[in-house]
Amino acid sequence: MFNYKEAFSRNIGWVTQDEQERLRNCRVAIGGLGGVGGDHAIVCARMGIGNFHISDLDDYDLANFNRQAGASMNTIGKPKAEVMENTLRSINPDAEVKNFSEGINEDNLEAFLDGVDIYIDSLDIFALDIRRKVFQRCYEKGIPCITAAPMGMGTAMLVFMPGQMSFEEYFCMQDPKPGDTDEQKQKMFEDNIMRFVIGVSPSVQQRHYLVERSSVNFLKKKVPSTCMGISLAAGVLCTNVLKLLLKRGDVIFAPHGLHFDAYRNKLVKTWRPGGNSNPLQKLMFWRLKNLLKE
């Protein structure tokens, strides 16, 4: 027989009984359940968070085995959203889980964000269009947003708070102009992916130990990953989810960021006034672009 208080009793000490009950009644929205998203969801469930809006439209395959919590021979070909919904319910049978298995889109965005206390961004790195729409709507609705990306064998975190610097102000994404050719649009898309990467991790520490540069191909939507980066991202992100939900502890938010790299034994706290319009970011953009051309 499931008993909530007993199941999450070992959280007490780091949180109070009253705080645990508050977590039980919180609602988080998680966009994407693949690499970081699956780990984020599981850690949130083990924190005792009781209400979830989850979304993913992909199925598991062999290429997910190196990093994704739900990937195994038992789940190949199964929808990630379905597997993770079952996982969350198996951790907390009392949890309310709303599954947006068709993915987040303009038609269901309002329902996806309805009543949520925080949005956890774990969409695919290449899903820029819908990511921008989700962050913008969260900003309009006053919902805190957090992303912690696995960067090599480390993680870089950004938080966007209501009334503070927005996603659009920070990342400075470029939009196609009328009359742009397909080639120009593709180049802009690749450049925006680089803007996202350097925006999340301005120090780009992982570049120092990238041994196969051909493994990064934005045109083919291909980037390398490690399970260590995923696990570190979940730890950093979910710690800050807890702080935001319980309203205690300092939270670093944009234009400030944090990047811890376990491979380099290095923690960097970043500050980029103006986001990607900052001269340091413009320099890093061209350095990364040239690095990937070599």
Whose tokens are 């990630």? That residue is 80
Task: Identify the pLDDT of residue 294.
Answer: 60
Per residue in 112-138, pLDDT (tens digit) is: 999 999 999 999 999 999 999 999 999
Express each pLDDT in 143-200 by its tens digit.
Answer: 999 999 999 999 999 999 999 999 999 999 999 988 899 999 998 999 999 999 999 9
CA 103 to each of CA 30, 58, 178: distance values in angstroms, whole numbers, following the listed order = 11, 9, 28
Q: What is the pLDDT of residue 290?
A: 82
pLDDT at 248: 97
- Residue 292 scores a pLDDT above 90: no
Give CA separation, 180 vs 171, 175, 184, 186, 274, in Å. 22, 10, 6, 10, 27
Bridge-based pairing of strands 118-121 and 96-100 is: unpaired
Cis amide linkage into residue 255, ω under 30° from 0: yes
Q: Measure the CA angle with vertex 116, ends 111 and 119; round to 5°.
A: 100
Smallest CA-to-CA distance from 227 within 71, 72, 33, 66 is with 66
pLDDT in tens, 92-117: 999 999 999 999 999 999 999 999 99
pLDDT confidence of residue 219: 64
In whole angstroms, what is the distance from residue 201 CA to residue 61 CA? Answer: 28
Element spanning 259, H or E: strand 256-261
Tokens of residue 83, six digits: 């597997």
Q: What is the pLDDT of residue 236?
A: 98
Instruction: Check if the beta carbon of residue 255 is closer than 8 Å to that of residue 190.
Output: no
Q: What is the pLDDT of residues 48-91, one digit of tens each?
A: 999 999 999 999 999 999 999 999 999 999 999 999 999 999 99
SS3 269: strand
Residues 230-287: tens digit of each pLDDT: 999 999 999 999 999 999 999 999 999 999 999 999 999 999 999 999 999 999 999 8
pLDDT tens-digit series, residues 6-37: 999 999 999 999 999 999 999 999 999 998 99
**Strand ranges of the sheet holding 96-100, from the earlier edge strand across to the other edge:** 96-100, 51-55, 27-31, 118-121, 145-151, 154-160, 256-261, 266-271
